[in-house]
Structures are given as structure tokens and as C-alpha cells.
Structure 1
């Protein structure tokens, strides 16, 4: 047989093998299964974009191809909490395999819509205290995922950071929105944590932009030396106004989300949310592979971000200790 002939036969043989090969591979996998994911967000699509990108990046890192073997149905409430139940019900009706719920109100709305579909919470506050799960180790129902803040230690950290900049800090305002259910248990935890650090708290309720003037008047009257804002989407929307009024009232302020430091707050300290959205994808992966949400432990943040606004510190005549600046993930000058 000529070498020419051999080569041709070999190619035919190889060709034949390759032709049957994809069929064999397809048979081993749950053949070309396309997973459907629901995603319920509180903010607008525009504001949620960085989180959406981190979430999709997390899926890609696990080998999923968005639009090919996984499709995502996004629903955004545009900051209107009362739209959440209808949007959650819509995702359940579509028959998605799993629903991602950003923050507590979205998780609550989704739990009301389904007791069977797996729900993955992405950045909840105090999921045990707010009864979203039975425990962090064994959630026990159809809900698991990631907590942005599962306890008091992170609250204490925020107060300690303020004390580093204001060593004689003793009277601390806490601005919060009582309309968000989770904030009540969080408020109790913050008050307790402040007390252990020797701080007297001055709670001020802010339900909307019209109550801001009153909140600052109360803090001034009660001799607050600084204030913290309890993280919540409503107050997040007013971060610009709050920062401006804090400057006018010469009050140093701290918050969870780094957008508030960017808006002019003195500092922010909280979980790296983009990291939580990226990690959320692994819960979908485990559930697609047969895991039961009831048995998947709730995970906590690994990465925290400290942002210091030096421009604000200078305007308030405050000196930020170099040790604090050295620990900051970001310094705004």
C-alpha cells in the first residue's frame, strides 16, 4: 500500500471518529440542557449594571455561556418596592430553575411567590434574624445564598473607624428608614453594639427626602458628633442630599456602601458587593448539579472595602490618621 493511500485512509478513519465523537460526549451530559435563571433586582437596570456584570462574570468563570447554556430573565423594580411581588410572581410563572434575589425585600417577595423554587439571596442583611433562613449552616427551606452582613461585628467596625478619626466620639446619630422591615432588627443591633463601645446613639428616622431637614435638626439639638446611615435603597437614592446637608451641618458621616463615600460621606466600610454577586453564581452551579438549597450553608463576605473621603475630612477640619489611610482600599482626594 502506498504511503499516499495510507494517509487518506487514516484521515477517513479520523474523520469518522470525529464525526461520532460529539454524539458520545452529548450522551454523557444532561444533553445540551439550557438552564433558566431569574434575577430580581430592586434598583434600576442602569444602577444594577455593575452587579449584573459581576454575576454574569461569575457564571462564565464556572463554564456557563450566557445566552447558550444558561439564559437569564432580569426583572428590575426601579426602586419601587411595591412592584417586587408582581415581578417575583412573573419569574415563578416563567418556570425558571432558580431565582436570584438582591437584598432583603426582593428575597421576601420571592419567598412569598414560591416555597419550592430555589431562591438565592445575594446581599441580605441578617438573614437569620429576619427569618429568611433557619440558620446560616442549615438554611432549611428553599432559600440560601450570601449575606452582606450577618452580625454585629461589622457594625462595630464602622463605629471604631469613626472613633479613629474623632477620638472623643461619644454621641452618634443613626439615620434609618423604618419602612424597610430588616432595618428594625438592624437598628436594635446597632444600638447594642454602640453601647458596648461606650457610645450614646441618637436615632433619627428618614422615610423620604422631606424628613431630612428634621433629622439633621434633631441630631444638632442632641449634640451628635457624627452619624452613620443604615444601608437601604431609599436612603441610597438621597446620598447626595444627605452628604451635602452633613457638610452644611459640619457632621462627619459613615455608611456601608462606597457610593456614599464617593457622594461626600467621610468614610464607608462594608462588604465588597461585586464580589458577592460574582460568588452568587456558584450557588446556581451547585443547584443545577442537584444540590438542595436547604443544605447549602449561607456564605458571608470575605472581602470588605474601606473608602475614605479626604476632601470631606479637610472640609470638616479633621485629620485622618495615616494608619487608617494606609488600610483604605480607596482614598478620595
Structure 2
């Protein structure tokens, strides 16, 4: 009996040792697993830290006034930026038709430290170009970029400025020819802001073409949109037709010109399609949305790819065509002929 008890004690002691060993091995395995998991977690954290966050850009916008064409150009610009997937913070400022506000806006955008400035109109672009030679500037809705001293040439802009112009070389000559050859115009009235360099350039082109065709341009100058109706009325009795170019001051008050033209049965040719949609008779033109989009593509090259504005040629509009307002034609008693190949609004 004593021998049996000793054997039993030895057996129990062996079982205890085995259980202790199993517990130790389990604890070691658990610790190793925990250590392994910790290493994996640290590895994942390191990978996340190595991933570069998407770059965010700040784009300043300066626009001379609110009207459909300039707004459409800005919409096109924004869409190009969106299509490129850029993360952008916008700083949008509008001069509200007051050129004296442009220098302040330009200084504000430069001081805000924007990465690029989108200038929507000639006076807007001129102000920011004179304020900074370091921040890239992309313009649109500019008629004569070389004459406005924004670029050295269309092919090689130089400096920190490039963009898209709103002056197809055939648009104004085609309009004057249409007035002469299809509408039998002899005296064409043109209301414009002589303080806008882009307007003066267009008037000079119109006068040159009119002189070649043997017709006369009768000018009426304004300084603000409030003067547009009176200036238009001053042309009555002196002209047989009207032509509004892409003058920001006049286009922002186009409804008053349309009223005078329609009331007196005068054909009113305009400089862009939005003015046709707003009551003008017709225009040889293009979509401002498109030139805005093309300007946006330039901005993407600058911001995303690091291309310098000096190395991006300025562009002219594409796809010039004649668009006419059917309702306006009916109002003034004009038949739109098939041979004009006009698209109707």
C-alpha cells in the first residue's frame, strides 16, 4: 500500500509538470503572435505615413463683370480643372463692372499667395499681370493679347502669362461683310467703351473692313453700362443697323440695346452666342465655355505638370459659325435665308 501511494504521488507530480509546460508554451505562442501583430500594425502605419497626400492648389479668379459669356468661360475653366482631378480652393473676386476695382483685386490675390490666377477679361488680366511676374496667370475673354501687352506673341508668350483669346480673326470681317452683302447696310452703329483696350482693337478692325467694303462705322462711346441705352438712342436716324462687339460694358447692358434695336426695326449683330440668345439678331462666333475650358487645360499643365506659361502658346477660338435668333428676326421683319447656313436659336 505504501509503494502504491509513492507511485501515485510521482504520477501526479508528472502530470503537474506537463500542464505547466503546456501553459508556458501557450503563453509564449500568444506573446509571439501579439508581437507579430504589433509588427504588422507598425508596418501598416509606416506605409500610410509614406503615402503622399494629394496636393491642394489655390486658384485666384478675377473677372471684370457678371454677364453670360464671361460666366460661361469661368464654368468651362472650372470643368477642365474638375476633369483633371485637381483639389482646388477657389478665391473668386469680381470687379462689378468698375475698372478701378481691378488693381485692388489683383493685389488681394497676390497677397493671398495663390498658386495660379485665372483672369477673365482684358482689364482683369492687365491688372494682375502688372501686379506679379511670379505667379502664373491664365487668361480668357481677351481680344488682343499682344496689343494688351499680356504676351510677347501668341506662339511664344514669354513671362508668366498665357491663355485663350475671344477674337477669331475672321469673326469681325465676316460680320461686317454680312451686314453689307446680306442686309444692305450702309451705316453701322457701334456702341463701345473706349476705355477697354480690347474694344478699341475690335473697332479698328471693323472700321478697316467697312472702309474696304465702302460702308461707314458710326461710333458711340460709353464709360459705364448706365450710359449704354442713351448712347444707342443717339445713333437713331444716323444708322441702318447696329453691331455690338465683345465689349464687357455694353454686353452687360445688352437688353437696352436690344430694346432700341427691336423698337426701331434695326438688325443688331453681336459678338458672341450668348448675346444672340439674349436678343441679338446674329453672331459669327464660338462658345465662351469652350475657350474657358481650353484655358483650364492650360492651368492643369502649369499646376500638375509644372509647365511654364511662357512655354504654352496662346490660342484662338475654334469652329467659327453663324448663329441667328429666329424670334428676333421675326420681330424686325427679317427673313432668314437658307443660303446663310445659320444655326437658329
Question: What TM-score, normalized to structure 2?
Answer: 0.79
Tell me the CA shift for residue 139 of structure 1: 0.8
SS at match of 1:250: coil
1:194 aligns with 2:210: yes
Match status 1:91 vs 2:109: yes
Instruction: Answer whether contact 1:172 1:227 (CA < 8 A) is retained.
Output: yes
Structure 1 residues 24-63: aligned runs within 5 Å: 26=51, 32-44=54-66, 50-63=72-85
Measure how far apart 1:148 and its partner are. Answer: 1.0
Change (3 A) 1:23 1:303: farther
- Report the Cα offset of residue 48 of structure 1: 5.8
Q: Using the alignment, how far apart are the partners of 1:96 and 1:284 within structure 2?
A: 13
Alpha-carbon distance between aligned partners in 1 of 2:116 and 2:234, rounded to the nearest angstrom = 46
Q: Distance in 2 between matches of 1:250 and 1:272?
A: 27
Is 2:338 the counterpart of 1:322? yes
* Alpha-carbon distance, 1:217 to partner: 3.5
Q: Is the 8 A contact 2:286 2:317 kept in 1?
A: yes
Distance 1:163 1:179, change over 3 A: same
1:5 paired residue number? none
Change (3 A) 1:71 1:127: same
Match of 2:221 in 1: 205
Answering whether residue 298 of structure 2 is matched by residue 283 of structure 1, we say yes
| 2:233 paired residue number | 216
1:321–1:227 distance in 2 versus 1, CA, 3 Å: same
| Aligned pair partner of 2:159 in 113, 117, 141 | 141
In the alignment, the residues of structure 2 paired with residue 230 and residue 173 of structure 1 have an alpha-carbon distance, to the nearest angstrom, of 11
Q: Which residue is 1:293 aligned to? A: 309
Quote the Cα distance in structure 2 between the aligned partners of 1:229 and 1:42: 18
Cα distance in 2, alignment partners of residues 26 and 299 from structure 1: 38
- Equivalent position SS for 1:227: strand
Instruction: Say if 1:311 and 1:49 are closer, same or farther in 2 by CA, change over 3 A.
Output: closer
Question: In 1, Cα distance between the equivalents of 2:45 and 2:211?
Answer: 71
Q: Distance in 1 between matches of 2:259 and 2:336?
A: 20
1:74 is matched with 92
Instruction: Report the alpha carbon displacement of residue 97 of structure 1 after superposing the two structures with TM.
Output: 1.0
The answer to whether the 8 Å contact 2:73/2:140 transfers is: no
In structure 2, how many angstroms separate the alpha carbons of the residues matched to 1:49 and 1:145?
16
Counterpart selection for 2:326 from 307, 310, 330: 310
The answer to whether the 8 A contact 1:26-1:32 is kept is no
Match of 2:241 among 212, 215, 226: 226
Asked if the contact 2:121–2:141 (Cα under 8 Å) also holds between the matched residues in 1, the reply is yes
Is the counterpart of residue 254 in structure 1 residue 269 in structure 2? yes
Distance 1:253 1:49 in 2: 22
**Inter-partner Cα distance in structure 1 for 2:233 and 2:71:** 32
Out of 137, 153, 171, the position equivalent to 2:187 is 171
**Unpaired runs of at least 5, structure 1:** 1-11
Mapped to 1, the partners of 2:336 and 2:68 lie a distance apart of 34
Distance 1:218 1:327 in 2: 28
SS of residue matched to 1:212: helix
Secondary structure, aligned partner of 2:219: strand
Query: What's the offset of the Cα at 1:327?
Result: 3.3
- SS state of the match for residue 166, structure 2? strand
TM-score by length of 1: 0.82
CA drift of 1:314 comes to 2.0
Structure 2: stretches of 5+ with no match in the other structure: 1-36
